Amino acid sequence: NAGVMQNPRHLVRRRGQEARLRCSPMKGHSHVYWYRQLPEEGLKFMVYLQKENIIDESGMPKERFSAEFPKEGPSILRIQQVVRGDSAAYFCASSKYEGREQFFGPGTRLTVL
């Protein structure tokens, strides 16, 4: 049973470009969460999705960030017009039941030049 998969593992973008981060949850998991980890800090919640629905986006910046979890395919975290402050590790987690036992992917490390 494969774990949570994220790609790419590393992503380099120039200021103003778009970043797309993908997350495939564990098999049988329909709850997906995105977290951001800034250097030397803990993880901060961004958004919680179930299939085709955004349940909680209270941690998402109001502008430039969006997330989706379509009926088919991985969850996508999209960052438009990236700025240097977006440089961070972005982790996806999935769970079988809401809020319980979240299993994390290896993360995508975004560097904005």
Rule CB under 8 A: which residues touch another protein?
A: 4, 31, 33, 35, 41-45, 48, 55-56, 58-59, 91, 93, 95, 98-107
Q: Cβ 28 to another protein, closest distance in Å?
A: 16
Q: Are 106 and 7 in contact (CB under 8 A)?
A: no
Helices (H), the chain: none
Cβ neighbour number for residue 98 with a 10 Å cutoff = 10
Distance CA 93, CA 99 (A): 10
**Minimum distance from residue 68 beta carbon to another protein (Å):** 17
Identify the CA nearest to 52 among candidates 75, 29, 80. 75
Shortest distance, CB of residue 105 to another protein, whole angstroms? 6
**Which residue's CB is nearer to another protein, number 33 or number 65?**
33
